[in-house]
Amino acid sequence: MCGIFGIVKEKEENLGPILIGAAERLTYRGYDSVGMATISGDKIDLRKDVGKVDTVAEKFNISEMSGQRGITQLRWATFGAPSQVNAQPHLDSDGLMVGAHNGNVVNNIELRQQFIEEGLTVRSENDGETCVHAVERYLKRGYEIIDAIRLAYGDLAGDYAFVLGQANDDKLYAMKKGSGLVVGIGDDFTCLSSDLPSLLPLTREIIRPQDGEIIILSHDQVELRSVTDGKIIQRESEIITESMDAVQKGGYPHFMLKEIHEQPQVARELHHLLDDSSELDSIVDKMRNARNLYLIGCGTSYHACISGSVALAQIAGRAAIPVLAPQFISQFAPTVNHEDVGIFVSQSGETKDVLNALAAAEVKGMTPFGIANVIGSTLTQFTNSCLPLGCGYEISVPATKTFTNQVFIFLYLAHKMAGRDLDELAGIPVLMEKTLAMVAPQVEELASTLENVDDMYTLGYGATFPIALEGALKLKEITYAHCEGMLSTEFKHGPLSAVTENYPIIFVAGKEDIPLIISGINEVTARGARAIVIGPDDERLRANADDLIVIPDAEEQISALLAVLPLQILSYHMSVARGVDPDFPRNLSKTLTVD
């Protein structure tokens, strides 16, 4: 999740400390490289590299940079590995314009090839540079800057916000399409940023641009224009009163809750990324023709692998073996060869158990692919191809948006392998938004009744089995209560003995499996248990369950994905009620780099 900041002053001054401060306030979004540019007269000073803000600032004496306008960018790699050349901002062909973006331009590869054929100087693989050239091509054709931006907006597919400045100009220009952008107004300056934290120490007066708007910053005014027709848009400014901490969390009390609510948007952005991936056809072809296909991960990523295995079987008719990474080494690695394919899944791309399994597989000649959130991580470097999760930085230790995007990728692969219309998945983000709105009040009330519970089960079947496992993991991670996830039909084979009066058991019900789930419900309620069901609005479930958390009606695999959202929210509210910080539970780390 990149971050951009730009500022316009009346005359040249020392901007380095301002740019460094803004960058530091954006670091919580996550990044792998940083760059800053200042513009004054006909001079553009650009300094950037891989590394942390303080390291890059010291290396390039950024505190001494001066100019009338300045831009800084923190990059989270998506297109192009982390490197100095891929770091942002970027220059145009002649070094007379500089710009940076936040988000993803999903037709980046196609546009880069067009720019090369048109004779523009393309220096990197990064889509931030693509934004600069998208404007440059129209300037070279004789268009004025506003019209050039309008035309570029039509060429750039995806979700992004972009800022640029030209030599021999006194303004900055920006455009917004699906990615965050906020404008600030000060006494003698204007500025903009991907989000509020980098603005608040400078000003509390802000304007919120909308998608499809061009922003023109002068030192003493802000002008908004429509991308459609270039006409001026009037919008009043507002005054921000929230604290810095509250703003970083988007107004949510914890990062976990913020990240739960980010899931629809990151799923939407991932769909765009996958639609434009140049590697998917090759990956799917290898998967289709593999002798054996393995899905390998740990913890939450392993649960996504199980979900992927069910999806591939039910949608594409392809068997895939989900396996915990350490167990893969002893159980499967001795038998694999060059005809086999493994998909190694890790949020961080640095999970030691997964990397150990990858090393064991490569010794035997297996073809390895990856799924990771951090481009440039070890997993992305040592697999043949690695699909990005596109979630940005996930600060809270419990995985939420990275899990749902992992499941989304497997659904996408299954649909592509089956030759099904990929637009069938386009409705998932809207269904996720609907689910969050529907379940939030009821789940919060449910959490208050379970606040003192120290032992429970979550049960699922078929597509909902891995969701039950993931829900149980979330409850264990951040409530410190014991919760075991199981296949619902296995509960009678021993664990049923644990049931006592009012013992809570959560069933995750798929539409096709309701009769089987009802059988399980009655097994436990006959012994006094409290049966809580997450599933579709069905009279049979209402008649048999003590509590029914209704999710929107959807196809079986998509319904299962939606069902994890109430489990995430339940875990969150129980955690808070029990006095646990859900963002940083004890004994756990976001990235496990030990055996």
Could you list the active site residues? 2, 590
Q: Tell me what pLDDT residue 594 has.
A: 47
Q: Tell me what pLDDT residue 248 has.
A: 74
Sheet of 238-239: strands edge to edge?
43-50, 33-40, 66-75, 3-14, 189-193, 182-185, 205-207, 238-239
Q: What is the CA radius of gyration of the chain?
A: 25
Least confident among 23-32, 182-191, 201-210, 377-386: 23-32
Contacts with 142 (C-beta within 8 Å, 6 or more apart), sequence order: none
- The model's pLDDT over 297-337, given as tens digits with 9 standing for 90+, comes to 999 999 999 999 999 999 999 999 999 999 999 999 999 99
d(CA 334, CA 364): 8
Grade residue 595 by pLDDT with cuts at 50, 70 and 90.
low
Q: Tell me what pLDDT residue 3 has.
A: 87
The two three-digit tokens of residue 465, written as one number: 């089995």
Asked if pLDDT for residue 245 goes beyond 80, the answer is no
Q: Tell me what pLDDT residue 88 has.
A: 96
- Contact present, 217 and 145 (Cβ < 8 Å): no
Closest CA to 309 of 296, 298, 299, 300: 296
Residue with tokens 């989270």: 76
- The model's pLDDT over 261-308, given as tens digits with 9 standing for 90+, comes to 999 999 999 999 999 888 899 999 999 999 999 999 999 999 999 999
Closest CA to 476 of 576, 342, 571, 347: 571
Asked if pLDDT for residue 569 goes beyond 50, the answer is yes
Q: Provide the mean pLDDT of the chain.
A: 93
- Contact present, 74 and 53 (Cβ < 8 Å): yes
Asked if pLDDT for residue 397 goes beyond 90, the answer is no
Range 325-350 average pLDDT:
95
Domains observed in the chain: 3-248 (3.60.20.10), 252-426 (3.40.50.10490), 430-587 (3.40.50.10490)
3-state DSSP call for residue 525?
A: helix
- The model's pLDDT over 196-211, given as tens digits with 9 standing for 90+, comes to 878 889 999 999 999 9
Q: Tell me what pLDDT residue 360 has.
A: 95
Q: Tell me what pLDDT residue 34 has.
A: 96
pLDDT: which is higher, 289 or 240: 289
- Contact present, 288 and 339 (Cβ < 8 Å): no
d(CA 98, CA 100): 7
Grade residue 78 by pLDDT with cuts at 50, 70 and 90.
confident
Beta bridge partners of residue 173, listed in sequence order: 164, 216
d(CA 110, CA 17): 38
| Distance of alpha carbon 591 from the chain centroid | 16
- The model's pLDDT over 413-454, given as tens digits with 9 standing for 90+, comes to 999 999 999 999 999 999 999 999 999 999 999 999 999 999
Q: Tell me what pLDDT residue 593 has.
A: 46
- Contact present, 301 and 346 (Cβ < 8 Å): yes
Q: Tell me what pLDDT residue 17 has.
A: 95
Asked if pLDDT for residue 115 goes beyond 60, the answer is yes
Asked if pLDDT for residue 26 goes beyond 60, the answer is yes
Q: Tell me what pLDDT residue 247 has.
A: 65
The DSSP output letter for 84 is T
Least confident among 58-67, 245-254, 275-284: 245-254
Asked if pLDDT for residue 564 goes beyond 90, the answer is yes
Q: Tell me what pLDDT residue 79 has.
A: 85
Range 472-478 average pLDDT:
95
Asked if pLDDT for residue 378 goes beyond 90, the answer is no
Asked if pLDDT for residue 219 goes beyond 70, the answer is yes
Closest CA to 450 of 536, 569, 552: 569
According to the 3-state scheme, what is the secondary structure of 404-456? HHHHHHHHHHHHHHHCCCHHHHCCHHHHHHHHHHHHHHHHHHHHHHCCCCCEE
Range 478-499 average pLDDT:
92
Contacts with 370 (C-beta within 8 Å, 6 or more apart), sequence order: 343, 344, 345, 346, 349, 379, 380, 383, 385, 386, 387
Rounded to whole angstroms, what are the CA distances from 277 to 215, 409, 424? 30, 12, 18
Percent of the chain with pLDDT over 70: 97
pLDDT: which is higher, 77 or 242: 77
Contacts with 590 (C-beta within 8 Å, 6 or more apart), sequence order: 347, 348, 394, 397
Which residue stretches of 141-190 are H helix? 145-155
3-state DSSP call for residue 231?
A: coil
Asked if pLDDT for residue 99 goes beyond 70, the answer is yes
H or E element in which residue 257 lies: helix 255-261
Asked if pLDDT for residue 467 goes beyond 90, the answer is yes
Least confident among 272-281, 443-452, 476-485, 581-590: 581-590
The two three-digit tokens of residue 524, written as one number: 């436990």
Residue with tokens 């639609």: 275
